[in-house]
Amino acid sequence: MKPGIHPDYHPVVFQDANTGSTFLTRSTITSDRTVEWSDGHTYPLVIVDVTSESHPFWTGTARVLDAAGRVEKFERKYGKRQRRA
């Protein structure tokens, strides 16, 4: 690899916002939050909405993951449609 052109690739802890489960992996993402891992080191903490622990495909359960309703979100973005007479 050429030096000086690649982003910093470092260990990061990701936490599922729904289940609270955490896992350590490597990423280029940065965060102001930190957490102490079981190995005694402190790593950046990134909280994500969905991981394999909470995704309906992997868990086999149906969950509502959308905080704002899809219809309301659509109406905010594009406005309400008027019915034709």
pLDDT of residue 67: 59
The DSSP result for 18-68, as a single string, is TT--EEEEEES---S-EEE-TTS-EEEEEEES--TTT-HHHH-------SS
pLDDT of residue 51: 83
User: 68 or 24: which carries more pLDDT confidence?
Assistant: 24
pTM: 0.64
pLDDT of residue 46: 94
Each residue of 11-32: pLDDT tens digit?
A: 999 999 888 899 999 999 999 9
| Domain definitions of the chain by residue range | 10-78
pLDDT exceeds 80 at position 56: no
Average pLDDT over residues 32-56: 89
